[in-house]
């Protein structure tokens, strides 16, 4: 295993009465023509994650990456093992979308201890335990709380019924997008008497699970007239369940979601879905640029934020060709 000095990137800040406080203690990254880079994907069961992996693969040659890609198949334990294996192989840099907020933290710490700069991409870890600028270089990704809030705001502005009765399909339990998209949506809806969340349950960000959960919840709540799904795959699964139950999504049930996949944009064009707030999976170019800035000695901002658009009936047709 390769071990490098951490001193190169150690910076100090003078705080208060002149006490020296270590502000940063991250592994340095030398500037060179090619890097062995690890990308430890969490799963590949939906178009979003496949597009994300492809974005890294498409970026590899132009960024000088000898890219090692693993697929944890939906298991945080396997993702930990994948990271450990990459550390043992002596990667120069790790890009990691942690499947859940807590279980990956020890692996992040081990990568740092082995002198490997870690960039969290698309998903983050529990900020009470591990922090950008100290335990890993930065988080590159969207504002998931804002995505949930924007989905709620669109729903509140455009729902035409008298009372909105909502089923929420949550993403993977313990993942940062599921936690934050729920928080943003719930906070926006709270206090608006016109809307009530009937039930909120995980569909694990998967189409089949979204359909199964929706089938079950439809039995318990036949009066539902809004579905908020934390991603498009679950929204499409919910649309299938609604149609199988004789409902007409887009007419008697409003479907709001997040991601911007091709199937979701098509569902909007077909009048079955109202809105999807974008969450871009195209992290390859941003990861390359951020890594190069870091290698050049720049201090990277803790959160390299991705700005998201919103897709509705007004612009879905215009954007479907660029969707995945
Ligand atoms: O972390 C981002 C989320 O993960 C996407 O919204 C979802 O589709 C994916 O599985």
User: Which tens digits make up the pLDDT trace of 234-247?
Assistant: 999 999 999 999 99
Ordered by start, the domain boundaries in the chain are 12-140+282-305, 144-279
What pLDDT shows up at residue 74? 98
Q: What atom in ligand 1 is closest to the CA of residue 230?
A: 6
CA angle 179, 181, 184 (to 5 degrees): 105
What pLDDT shows up at residue 305? 98
Distances (CA, A) of 272 to 2, 80, 221, 248, 269: 53, 39, 20, 8, 8
Assigned architecture for domain 144-279: 3-Layer(aba) Sandwich (3.40)
CA of 175 from ligand 1 middle (Å) equals 9
What pLDDT shows up at residue 24? 55
**199 DSSP β-pair partners:** 167
What pLDDT shows up at residue 13? 35
Kindly report the protein residue whose alpha carbon is nearest to atom 10 of ligand 1.
205
Distances (CA, A) of 36 to 1, 32, 66, 79, 288: 13, 11, 5, 18, 13
Token pair for 151: 């989905």
What pLDDT shows up at residue 25? 87
Average per-residue pLDDT for the chain: 93
40, 41, 49: which to mutate for ligand 1, most atoms within 8 A of CB?
49
pLDDT averaged per 10 residues in sequence order, the chain, 324 residues = 42 33 73 98 97 98 98 98 98 98 98 98 97 98 98 98 98 98 98 97 98 98 98 98 98 98 98 98 98 98 98 98 97
- CB–CB of 191/156 below 8 Å? no
Residue with tokens 């198949």: 73
Answer whether 12-140+282-305 and 144-279 agree in fold: yes
Provide CATH code, domain 12-140+282-305.
3.40.50.2300
């Amino acid at each position: 295993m390769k071990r490098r000095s951490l001193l190169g990137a150690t910076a100090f800040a003078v705080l208060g009465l002149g006490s020296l406080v270590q502000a940063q203690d991250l592994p340095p990254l030398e500037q060179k023509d090619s890097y062995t880079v690890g990308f430890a994907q969490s799963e590949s069961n939906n178009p979003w994650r496949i597009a994300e992996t492809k974005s890294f693969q498409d970026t590899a040659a132009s960024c000088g990456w000898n890219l090692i890609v693993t697929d944890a198949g939906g298991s945080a334990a396997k993702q930990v093992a994948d990271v450990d294996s990459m550390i043992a192989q002596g990667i120069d840099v790790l890009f990691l979308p942690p499947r859940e907020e807590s279980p990956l933290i020890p692996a992040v710490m081990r990568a740092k201890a082995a002198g490997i700069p870690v960039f969290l991409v698309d998903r983050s870890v529990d900020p009470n335990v591990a922090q950008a600028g100290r335990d890993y270089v930065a988080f590159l990704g969207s504002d998931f709380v804002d995505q949930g809030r924007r989905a709620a705001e669109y729903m509140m502005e455009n729902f035409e019924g008298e009372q909105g009765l909502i089923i929420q399909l949550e993403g993977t339990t313990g993942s940062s997008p599921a936690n934050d998209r729920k928080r943003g949506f719930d906070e926006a809806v709270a206090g608006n008497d016109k809307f009530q969340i009937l039930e909120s349950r995980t569909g694990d960000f998967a189409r089949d699970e979204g359909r199964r959960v929706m089938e079950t919840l439809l039995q318990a709540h036949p009066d539902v007239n809004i579905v908020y799904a934390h991603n498009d795959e679950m929204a499409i699964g919910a649309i299938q369940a609604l149609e199988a139950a004789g409902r007409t999504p887009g007419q008697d049930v409003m479907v709001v979601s997040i991601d911007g996949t091709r199937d979701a944009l098509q569902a909007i064009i077909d009048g079955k879905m109202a809105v999807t707030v974008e969450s871009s999976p195209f992290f390859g170019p941003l990861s390359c640029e951020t890594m190069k800035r870091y290698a050049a000695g720049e201090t990277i901002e803790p959160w390299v934020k991705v700005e998201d658009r919103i897709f509705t009936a007004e612009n879905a047709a215009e954007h479907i060709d660029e969707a995945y």
